[in-house]
Amino acid sequence: MTTDTLTGKLVRLAAPNLDTDVEQSAAWEMDSEFQRLSGSEPARPAPLASLRDWMEAWVNESNVFAIRTLADDRLIGFMDLDGINWASGDSWVGIGLGDRRYWGQGFGTDAMRVIIRYAFEELNLRRISLTVFEYNPRAIRCYENLGFREEGRARERVRRAGRYWDMLYMGLLREEWQPAETK
Amino acid sequence: MFETSLFQGEQVSLTAIRPETDAQLEARWMHDPDYFLTARRSQPFRVQSAGQLKQAYEEEAKSAGRLTTQYQFAIRRCADEELVGFLRIPPVGWSNRAGALEYRFASPAEEARFGLETLRLAQRFAFEELNLHRLTAYAPEHLDSRVAQLLAAGFLCEARRRQVIYRAGRLWDELVFGILDTEWSGAKSGGAQ
């Protein structure tokens, strides 16, 4: 029982601090690539005040975590467990690394490992769900490495840069998860 | 010029919700355990009073009016205008031209009778009026009649989300269906048949 449930090898999950995090988040929203990877709505710069309102509602309604590096406690992104179905033990997970310097180096995978462990060992969930666009192969590889299985794809679900792209449904059952990976 | 009545089928029509009287009926449906089977719910079903339902309809109507990207209908039998179910198109993503159908009937028996025509009316509305590119619909794996109707209406089963529904003491998969505008045969066959 000595494991800190919310700490991984590279990052820890912390409570969001709206007073300091909103400004950082607003800077990330200027990166249209980040927005296109994060959601299906049109990318747009968000005014600080409306972003704060949006984040406040998000933090109140979902289990939102700030992702901070262990090395220097830098905020590099957010993740959440949303729409938890307590009866079936299922939750959607979402992750966005806003700071590009931390892409492709295992920070996102580490954060996912921590939240999966939290979901299965602390919340007693049985399953984690996510969706990801086919134009995000880096994320798809990360989810597959964590044990997520592709459960199908909504064809031509999102239109970006002049063509339609599929949206993949992925799921991880607790019995498929390899907890050794979190150590 | 068009001469197509988008909301009128042979057996059912899609109309506005009448909060006062429709809430009375749905509150009664809630005491039939079969009713729970046709509604898509991510949470366990709670019985609601007519007053609570009326308030929920009115709130949804208000947000639909504000967003104008969300549509809701009462499904009524043509013969006597009796309410048989509800159809909802949750907020549409316009840049992607992607929408979804969520519907529930008084019982699986009512769905078996009126589901396919409702689907065809909904598809025609989605493709001919909303100009959507794709439409998504969901079915719990245990609702065989819905699965059969979605396939009959031209939907393709695109995903099987394993064990996401808990009902009647066990876990069930949720099936995700999709149809593209290019696959929809309604335009050729004259819409709702």
Q: Is residue A23 part of a domain?
A: yes
Q: Is residue A5 part of a domain?
A: no
Average pLDDT, chain A: 93
pTM for the full model? Answer: 0.92
- How many domains does the structure of chain A reveal? 1
Cβ atoms B17, B72 nearer than 8 A: yes
B42 compared with B28, residue with greater pLDDT = B28
pLDDT at B38 (0 to 100): 72
B163 compared with A47, residue with greater pLDDT = B163
Residues of B in contact with A39 (CB under 8 A): none
Q: Which of B3, B26, B145 is nearest to B82 (CA)?
A: B26
From the list B93, B159, B171, which residue is nearest A88 (CB)?
Answer: B171
Coil, helix or strand at residue A114: helix
pLDDT at B9 > cutoff 90: yes
Helix axes B50-67, B19-29, angle to 10 degrees: 130
CATH classification of the domain holding A137: 3.40.630.30
pLDDT at A124 (0 to 100): 97
Which residue, among B163, B167, B182, would best test binding to A if mutated, counting the most A CBs under 10 Å from its CB? B163
Residues of B in contact with A90 (CB under 8 A): 163-164
Q: What is the domain partition of chain B in residue ranges? A: 12-189
pLDDT at B155 > cutoff 70: yes
pLDDT at B172 > cutoff 60: yes
Q: Which chain B residue has its CA at the smallest distance from A164's CA?
A: B96
**How confident is the model over A26-66, as pLDDT tens digits?**
999 899 999 999 999 899 888 888 899 999 999 999 999 99
Residue B62's CB is within 10 A of a number of other CB atoms, namely 10
Mean pLDDT of B137-148: 93
pLDDT at A47 (0 to 100): 86
CA distance A124 to A117: 10
Q: Is residue A15 part of a domain?
A: yes
CA distance A24 to A34: 13
pLDDT at B180 (0 to 100): 98
- The whole domain housing A152 covers 11-182
CA distance B138 to chain A (A): 12
CA distance B184 to B130: 14
pLDDT at A142 (0 to 100): 96
Q: Which chain A residue has its CA at the smallest distance from B99's CA?
A: A157
Instruction: Name the band, by pLDDT with cuts 50, 70 and 90, for residue A171.
Output: very high
Residue A57, classified by CB atoms within 10 Å of its CB into exposed (0-12), middle (13-18) or buried (19+), is: exposed
CA distance A83 to chain B (A): 8
User: A154, B134: Cβ pair inside 8 Å?
Assistant: yes
Q: Is residue A17 part of a domain?
A: yes
Element (H, E) at B25: helix B19-29
Q: Does B187 touch chain A (CB under 8 A)?
A: no
Q: Is residue A29 part of a domain?
A: yes
Q: Does B67 touch chain A (CB under 8 A)?
A: no
Residues near A72 by beta carbon (within 8 Å), at least 6 away in sequence: none
pLDDT at A183 > cutoff 50: no
Q: Classify each residue of A162-183 as buried b or exposed e, where b means 16 or more C-beta atoms within 10 Å of its C-beta.
A: eebbbbbbbbbbbeebeeeebe
Q: Is residue A6 part of a domain?
A: no
pLDDT at B185 (0 to 100): 77
Is domain B12-189 classified as CATH 3.40.630.30?
yes
Q: Is residue A38 part of a domain?
A: yes
Going A118 to A119 to A120 to A122, the CA torsion angle's sign is: positive
Residues of A in contact with B43 (CB under 8 A): 85-87
User: B176, A158: Cβ pair inside 8 Å?
Assistant: no
Instruction: Name the band, by pLDDT with cuts 50, 70 and 90, for residue B147.
Output: very high
pLDDT at A182 (0 to 100): 47
